[in-house]
Amino acid sequence: MNALLRDLRYRLEYAVLRLLVGLVRLMPLDTAANLSAWAWQKIAPRSRRRHERALANLAIAFPEKSEAEREAIARAMWGNLGRVMAETMQIDRLISEPDRIEILNQQVFSRYKDKLGPAIGVSLHMGNWELAIWPLTVAGANPAAVYRSVNNPYVDAFLRRQRKDLYPAGLLGKGRIDGSPEEGQKTARIIMDFVRKGGRLGLVCDLYDKYGMPVPFFGQLAPSVVIPAMIARRVGARIWLARCLRVGNQSRFTIDIKELKVPRTASQAEDVKWITTKMQSEFEAWVREAPEQWMWSNRRWS
């Protein structure tokens, strides 16, 4: 009986999601994104916990700014997240219009796209971060990505189908996130094996990691994900940093790509620390350039 009730709940959740997605897809992409941005800017700041966390994080990062300036950044962030929500429901349509996405650093892209080898693409929650994988996709590199799988199997399968053209090699789900080191080790083994066999993997690595390595981020130590550094050093893969930046308030984007050199000295621990520190330093520089496009509402520092 419990299994039947759970399945019924999952089916109802899936039906509600499909109804919402259907309504959004009735509208042109830009119209849906603008409407969603407006709604999020009105509603999201009323979520006391999330909005106050965003303001607290902004105070750490930008103590020189006034409260009004930080409030404006937080509200602009909610608008960006509203656009991301609508774009996520039309991600297949978005990438079917490649003129919406411009890859910067074309010289670097052209030089490596046909001889990439095993690689890890690392990004941060900026702009529409799912599109940060686009350079690997359009290069025919057949990338996969790690994502948080959803407990509802119908919703999870739908989300995978929606992204099949963006991640041709599929999505590697981490399962329910419980914060345990055992789960982190299991995920690391799965993705390490994928990269070792020549795979190209996308990861978003700008969130708080309870078991991560504390490295500087906006002047304070922030526990940070080390999996990209560990895997790249161990299997000889490249690390590519990517930032997806929204152009104005449109569903148009530019993507920066930058190679992060992977040191291989006698000390693995020092190499991993150097890579992780450099990665977060690059993220910080990118966030400083467009703070309204980064997701301040997430936990980042202890």
pLDDT tens readout for residues 254-285: 999 999 999 999 999 999 999 999 999 999 99
Rounded CA separation 251/91 (Å): 11
Name the least confident of 5-9, 171-175, 289-293: 171-175
Backbone torsions φ then ψ of 249, nearest 5 degrees: -110, 30
pLDDT of residue 136: 92
- pLDDT tens, position by position, 4-61: 899 999 999 999 999 999 999 999 999 999 999 999 999 999 988 999 999 999 999 9
183 pLDDT tier (thresholds 50, 70, 90):
low
Instruction: Identify the residue with better confidence: 248 or 117.
Output: 248
pLDDT of residue 176: 43
Percent over 70 (pLDDT), the chain: 94
Pairing between strand 253-260 and 238-246? antiparallel
Point out which residues pair with 121 in neighbouring strands.
Answer: 202, 240
174 pLDDT tier (thresholds 50, 70, 90):
low
**pLDDT > 80? residue 188:** no
